[in-house]
Amino acid sequence: MSGLEDDLKRVLEQRADGDYVTGADTMLERVHSGAQRLHRRRVGAAVLCTLALVAAGAGVALGGGNLTNTTPPVVTQTTTAVPSNGPTTAPPSVPASQGVQKPPVGGRTTGTTSAPATGSTTPRPSTGTTTTRPPSGPVVTGFQPSAIRARGAGTFWAVGRADCDGKPCSPVLVSRDGGQSFSVAGVPPGDHHTVGGDGDYLWVYGSSGFHHSYDGGRTWARPGPDPGWVTRTFNTSGPPVIVVNDGGKPKLLQGGGIPYFREIEKGLERPDDWSHWGRAVASGRVGDTIAVTVSNTNHVPRPTGCKATADASQVSVVGDVIWLLCPAGSYFSVLRSADAGLTWTTVAKNVRGTSGMGLAARSASTVVVGMNSGWGLRVITSGGSVREVRIPGVLDAGSVHFQTADVGYLVDRDSGYRSTDGGLTWSKLLFTGFR
């Protein structure tokens, strides 16, 4: 590094490291009121925009336009099957002047839903509204993943943002060959950032709420009642296991019951983190230390020896082994228990870390910590070895998770990555070449 570069680092650190008179409470007060103003401005702009569009539409109608040509047709029911594992084909574009429109993406039907697809392993409850994807499917371009969830070593789904026939959408893509190729599994209505699946059963969650599909993504429905605001999802087979938080105590829910989502763990109070592997495990503060609570153990928090700090602890479970990430300022430790939290072993102590870390169990003997700020991963074994893995181009590896001991995924900003060697090397997924 040249002298000027050294000087730049020093000067920037010195000059920006001043005393700041703005306290957190003052700043929060300003931010809250400013955000309200900004929200009002955005709502006002949206209303004006809507009024302008309505006025423009009325102008067309009054000017002799044919309203039937400007109103999208309502899709009542689609019975044509779409192979869930095959690429969909877009209809040829037809000039608008011919008066033929493509069916809208996310057209709604009410009442009945189509028959369940064969091979679904999840019982199907009654649902409310159903959205049917047109058999031809939209043209999906510019896909940027928000989340990836795997089913096996080679099959995984990705949900994200894209353009569907030129309009913003949240399609679910599926790959059954380890990311070599993708096809559009479905386009659930609304905006989604979380996906999960098990065979033909898929589910997504986002600002449009929870939607699921029993036929590989062809039709989507909202379960009734809606489970609420989903803050975490778990990579389990079978019915989805999710954490919802509607302002009160977070709840761990599992799909498949009647009502559709049922609370499967009632004794845990505001944990820092959850994990789920056949049973629920939560980490949280008890006094000055972090304790872990395992379901079916009378909800007795078991002390871990990790001192509680401002940063949240994390747990990740694989089989009978519980891994715990214990943050402490700029450092972290990793603890392991093989007896449901009764005894703990510190396998790595005072490892340099970052904010926003993610813990992902790879196996009973290996765990991975994903970090942000371009710090990559730390692969930690039960024997205490810590291996540093840098991932070129990845800024935030906190979303890392493993489907098997070798196959893992992470999403960083608008890109997805896959590893087949336990996180030592990563390949960027190219979400192209599908229709």
Partner 1 sequence: MRDADREAFDEFVRARLPQLLRFGHALTGSPHAGADLVQDALERTMLAWSRIDSKDDPEGYVRRIMVNRNVSIWRRYRRERLVDEVPERQLPDRTRDDSLWEAIKLLPTKQRAIIVLRYYEDLSEAQIAATMGCSAGTVKSQASRAMAKLRELVKDDAMVGGEAR
Residues 112-151: x/- map of binding to partner 1 (CB under 8 A)?
----------------------------------xx----
Task: State the sign of the Cα–Cα–Cα–Cα dihedral 216, 108, 240, 169.
Answer: positive
Tokens describing residue 8:
């730049």
Q: Report the SS3 class of residue 187.
A: coil
> Which residues, 310 to 339, sit near partner 1 by CB under 8 A?
310
> Can the peptide bond before residue 259 be classed as cis, meaning omega within 30 degrees of 0?
yes
Q: Is 35 in the site for partner 1 (CB under 8 A)?
A: yes
Task: Show the beta-strand stretches assigned E in 117-214.
Answer: 127-132, 140-150, 156-164, 167-169, 172-175, 183-186, 192-198, 201-206, 209-213
What x-and-dash track marks residues 406-435 binding partner 1 by CB under 8 A? Answer: -------x----------------------
Q: How far is CA 288 from CA 22, 159, 306, 337, 393, in A?
A: 30, 39, 9, 20, 38
Nearest to 82 by CA among 169, 187, 179, 167: 187
Q: Which stretch binds partner 1 (CB under 8 A): 97-105, 168-176, 243-251, 300-308?
A: 243-251
What token pair was written down for 401?
Answer: 């998770």
When binding is defined by CB under 8 A, the residue of 24, 62, 67, 258 that contacts partner 1 is: 24
On the CB side of 208, CA atoms within 13 Å amount to 19
In the complex with partner 1, the residue whose CB is nearer, 323 or 344, is 323
Q: How many angstroms separate the CA atoms of 140 and 162, rounded?
A: 6
From the CB of residue 275, how many other CB atoms can be counted at a distance below 10 Å? Answer: 26
With contacts defined by CB under 8 A, how many residues of the chain interact with partner 1? 55
Annotate each residue in 371-410 with x if it binds partner 1 (CB under 8 A) or - if it does not, as one string.
-xxx-----------------xx-xx-xx-----------
Q: What is the footprint of partner 1 within residues 184-223 (CB under 8 A)?
A: 193-194, 206-207
122: tokens are: 């999840």
Min dist CB 390 to partner 1, Å, is 10
Q: Which stretch binds partner 1 (CB under 8 A): 21-29, 94-102, 174-182, 292-300?
A: 21-29
Give which of 369, 375, 380, 371 is closest to 392, Cα–Cα: 375
Stretch that binds partner 1, among 32-40, 104-112, 114-122, 234-242 (CB under 8 A): 32-40
Q: How far is the CB of 391 from partner 1 (least distance, A)?
A: 11
Binding stretches for partner 1 (CB under 8 A): 4-5, 7-18, 20, 22, 24, 27-28, 30-32, 34-35, 38-39, 42, 146-147, 193-194, 206-207, 229, 231-232, 245-248, 250, 310, 355-356, 358, 372-374, 392-393, 395-396, 398-399, 413
